[in-house]
Amino acid sequence: MYIRLLDWTPEALERWHISKAAVWEVVSHVVGEKAGRSLVVLIYLTGGTGCSGEYLPGWRTPEDVHRGTVKGLSPRFLLIRIALGTDNTYPYATHDDYGWSWRFATVLDHLALVVSHENYHRCQPSFARRRANNEQHANRDALKHVLDLGFNVEGAPHGG
């Protein structure tokens, strides 16, 4: 697996009391070793609050990522992209677009959940694409996975 942090400033790392190594460790722990070299995880810092993630189905090439400017990518890979707001303060509570309420103790807990959610989509076999696109299943699976790994995340569907 190739993990790349883009636009991560020393100020953001210091504010959240983390290191780049801690981010890599969380992503590696959540995804696991089975991803091999075929998975690329790009994690961006953006202004504002919030977080978004996306698994892009199908094989990608280095030219598909910033016109080939990201070095070190395999000739062919699967891609997860995550954008994390630099104005998030932790503990952090939010609602997602799928009707869930979330609470994260730290930025690493937040990142773990989003990575797990997108990795759920990546891991679904082709015959299960409808289920793979079910955000409720992805949220439930991701929450269970990160709790099993010991992350401090609370999540539930609104009214649940």
Sign for the pseudo-dihedral over CA of 158, 108, 132, 148: negative
pLDDT tens by residue, 71-105: 888 899 999 999 999 999 999 999 999 999 999 99
Q: Can you give the C-alpha Rg of the chain in angstroms?
A: 15
Query: Which residues form the domain of 129?
Result: 2-157
Condensed to tens digits (0 to 9), the pLDDT of residues 117-136 reads 999 999 886 655 555 568 89
Which has more pLDDT, 144 or 159? 144
Report how many domains make up the chain.
Answer: 1
